[in-house]
Amino acid sequence: MISDAQIRALAVFFYFAFQDERLAELATVRSVVAIKSRAITNTEDPIDLQAAIVATTFKVWNEYKKKIRSTQSSVSQSGGWILPHNVDLGPWRQFRKEAPDEEFLLMIWSQISKFSDEAISRGLGLTIGTVRHRVGRGLKRLGAAIV
């Protein structure tokens, strides 16, 4: 069984990863079905659960990133996502355009989805140091885009 919180985490990840509501919905559905069929969420360890979600989303991202039609965002206020009030997605779009995939994906998992560095490293098969290094670089790049 997959909880609503986990479904929300998947939806938010793909929203910021694709910046395309249609593609984000498709990827979210694909991830939900994959997690349900593999019974990934049966684990009781939260680290393992986060690692499983990281692995699944990374796999689905690789499947659907080829369908990204343009770098322009395609989001609206009438979609299924509700952004905080007065949040500008400009810096994020700038950051997404300039950063490599592994950098902004790690930023989403680490800074937006609030997954632990250990879970991210376990889900992607990387060392914790590598994860923190890339997150640091991502913060620098995003910070420069904000300024």
List interacting residues with other proteins (CB under 8 A): 2, 4, 7-8, 11-12, 15-16, 25, 28-29, 32-34, 36-37, 79-84, 87, 91-92, 107, 111-114, 132-133, 135-136, 138-140, 142-144, 146-147
Give dist(CA 59, CA 14) in Å, integer. 12
Both tokens of residue 120? 């991210």
Give dist(CA 58, CA 21) in Å, integer. 18
Residues in contact with 20: Cβ distance below 8 Å, sequence separation at least 6, in sequence order: 68, 69, 73, 74, 75
Question: For residue 55, how far is the Cα from the chain centroid?
Answer: 11
Q: Which is nearer to other proteins, 79 or 102 (CB)?
A: 79
Q: Which is nearer to other proteins, 47 or 112 (CB)?
A: 112
Q: What are phi and psi of 65, to 5 degrees?
A: -65, -20
Give dist(CA 95, CA 81) in Å, integer. 20
CB of 58 to other proteins, least distance (A): 19
Question: For residue 72, how far is the Cα from the chain centroid?
Answer: 18
CB of 72 to other proteins, least distance (A): 19
Q: Which is nearer to other proteins, 56 or 113 (CB)?
A: 113
CB of 118 to other proteins, least distance (A): 12
Q: Which is nearer to other proteins, 110 or 122 (CB)?
A: 110
Q: Which is nearer to other proteins, 46 or 144 (CB)?
A: 144
